Amino acid sequence: MSADGGNLCVYFKGAPEKVLNRCSRILINGTENEFTENYKKEVQAANDKFGAMGERVLAFARCSLPVSKYPKDSYKFDMVTWKKWGLAVPQTVSDYENEAGSFPLHDLCLIGLISLNDPPRIKVDLSVNKCRSAGIKVIMVTGDQAPTAAAIAQKVNIIKHPQKEFHNMMKAGMDE
């Protein structure tokens, strides 16, 4: 931000798998640093840890916009077609920066992750057991990341043998 507060800033929030691949920098102790492979591994480890606990994880990023290109009072941001920019991965701001009304959705700075505890409703595990005993196959449909979904499914008795869950089997195979 400029000293006079003239800059605008884009903030981006969403699922880590959607936000992290748009970041080229990471905020550490108030300073923007290159989002190196080591930092990416640390962030992914934190994401995996939160997910394994059944937490829902969100990633947050930002990008300060230069006043010279994005004047606060006169720039017309395109709020209709912005979702089309950056669908191809990998991509950078330079791929769409000359489109009228565009703003950065890449080369962002990762601010951090936050995890939210959203526990299953009370007695869902008992309902799952009753359904199974009645011969009903129980499945779970979710938009959560796989580790989060697996942890929640285990809490409500959908996954009876967590060691046989796909991601745990893959992880065990990698550790050998």
- With a cut of 50, say whether residue 4 has pLDDT above it: no
Q: What is the mean pLDDT of residues 53-73?
A: 89
Query: Is the same domain home to 159 and 76?
Result: no
Question: Do 105 and 153 share a domain, yes or no?
Answer: no
What separation in angstroms does the CA of 86 have from each of 17, 37, 80, 93, 106?
A: 14, 22, 14, 8, 7
13 and 61 part of one domain: yes
Amino acid, res. 91: Q
Cis amide prior to 162 (ω within 30 degrees): no
Domain boundary among 100, 116, 132: 116
Residues 105 and 23 both lie in one domain: yes
Q: Full-prediction pTM beyond 0.75? A: no
pLDDT band at 61 (very low <50, low <70, confident <90, very high): very high
- How many separate domains does the chain show? 2
CA atoms of 70 and 9, how far apart (whole Å): 10
Q: What number is the average pLDDT over the span 53-63?
A: 92
